Structure 1
């Protein structure tokens, strides 16, 4: 049974990575501004390859849940996070380049750090409760943060922008996970729990997370964006569980120190991926930090003409 669950989890990790890599292919090619608005998702929803990627990622989630039904979280969670290595390999394949040793090492660091961090958090079994005002505060806070980052991201270089957008996307999806957990846990006892205001709040948070996730892919730094999402999403979900839903923090000072070290390892790996020269060549590549958004690039032909003319005049 455990062997079957492990194989199922591997298939799920691959499906999620493949689905995300397919989504990135259309996200970098989509028209629009450097950081696109909500209409960007409408455009992507009309692209067959992006829809296939979304279906692949959804299949990965389903396979992961099936694997969890037959094996402990401590076995399945590391396999799910290892999808980052699949993602690095797939994006290299799609962009027709080699996978660098440093990328694999950074991906492994993210995987080990995140698995270590998640394993140190307690996993409470009691049914969680979340007041509506608290849920509104959580989603409202994410919305305000998203608005601020959306404006600021236009002025940030592609590598840091990928981390910034993916962080907000991961935070929104982590909030979605926490809200969904409350709804699902309560719906198991009473199906009418699905009809509360927590459900539309979860949907709104998921849409916001999806917008920022696809904009992070749009930068062309897919591995860094995917790694950031893998880190931020579960950490925010676990944090809400610990601080808001009463699931608790790592118990001992040693566990807390180990959790901090694991988080730093995952963050370091993510930064290395962001700094790596592995950007999708189809992404808009001429943007500079501090440059105004949508600033047109100089026409090389006209620049050459001006240079020639100037040179001729000086002669």
Structure 2
């Protein structure tokens, strides 16, 4: 049952993300990192369908986590990256090469190895002091701001990967906040949740995370934009769980060695995908203009890039 739930969750999350990216890529020019991007997407039925599919996938992930441990479930659910890449490639009619598949496998295997070696466990502190939440949110917010600032100076594919990384960190914070809200719901009921600050923080963090994620999807195909978010979300969630929720991560020498190698593998995989030339294929008939015009869809492919193969 656990394996079926986790695999189903991975498939639905990947398919839903691929649908969202397909629509986000067609958003109006100049919408990247602007709230009007979300306004546009919320009016697109296909994007809402993709969102609904991804939400069902997240619910299945929650059910699987309720039956099994994080170390068992997460390595299966992160395979959603492979589902997303396959669906996006078939839909856009471009061929994913060995380089991209190896990069994606490095992300998935590295993340799975990290979770299995670390065996992250939830802690006994469902309601830590507000100042600790402020410290965690401020740290992630500062790192995310730095990633966005640096991303705007990079080429399209590197920018997409950096924005995906920032989105993943925010989604990790969102997951930790959701865990706290769930504990409060089970302990005090819906009114206790509504009278606390957590649901409103969840909405705010989710909105900013979605803006970064959809901006990344607009800039580059899922082979470039999604892996960084896939890797960053559980890492950020584990860090918050251990740092402020009283969770635990294995620190035996062998476990730490595997965790370091796994993180290096994930980083390499994200870099490989972030330097993929498929971004030019995704943006066929677009021109590489100065920064504030880079998502203008009116020109040909970027100079020096390979010809597009559909999108």
TM-score, normalised to structure 2, is: 0.86
Question: 1:87 deviation in Å?
Answer: 1.2
Per the alignment, residue 161 of structure 2 pairs with: 163
Question: 1:287 deviation in Å?
Answer: 2.8
Q: Which moved more, 1:202-211 or 1:93-102?
A: 93-102
Q: Which moved more, 1:167-176 or 1:270-279?
A: 270-279
Question: 1:97 deviation in Å?
Answer: 2.0
Correspondence 1:263 to 2:260:
no
SS at match of 1:204: helix
For 1:123-138, list aligned pairs within 5 A. Answer: 123-138=121-136
RMSD of equivalent CA atoms: 2.5
**Residue deviations 1:84-137 (CA, integer Å, cap 9, x gap):** 111111111011022322222222211111011122143135242222233234
Number of residue-to-residue matches in the alignment: 295
Per the alignment, residue 137 of structure 2 pairs with: 139
Per the alignment, residue 242 of structure 1 pairs with: 242
Per the alignment, residue 226 of structure 2 pairs with: 226
SS at match of 1:124: coil
List runs of 5+ in structure 2 lacking aligned partners.
301-311
Rg larger for? 1
**Residue deviations 1:61-90 (CA, integer Å, cap 9, x gap):** 112222333444433222101111111111
Distance 1:18 1:78 in 2: 18
Q: Which moved more, 1:267-276 or 1:136-145?
A: 136-145
Per the alignment, residue 13 of structure 1 pairs with: 10
Q: Is the 8 A contact 1:132 1:198 kept in 2?
A: no
Q: Which moved more, 1:108-117 or 1:124-133?
A: 124-133
SS at match of 1:35: coil
Per the alignment, residue 39 of structure 1 pairs with: 36
Question: 1:155 deviation in Å?
Answer: 2.8
Q: Is the 8 A contact 2:221 2:282 kept in 1?
A: no
Would the alpha carbon gap of residues 185 and 297 (structure 1) be closer, same or farther in structure 2, given more than 3 Å must change?
A: closer
Per the alignment, residue 205 of structure 1 pairs with: 205
Aligned with residue 110 of structure 1, among 97, 107, 110: 107
List runs of 5+ in structure 1 lacking aligned partners.
301-315
Question: 1:215 deviation in Å?
Answer: 0.6
Distance 1:234 1:84 in 2: 13
Would the alpha carbon gap of residues 103 and 147 (structure 1) be closer, same or farther in structure 2, given more than 3 Å must change?
A: closer
Question: 1:231 deviation in Å?
Answer: 0.6
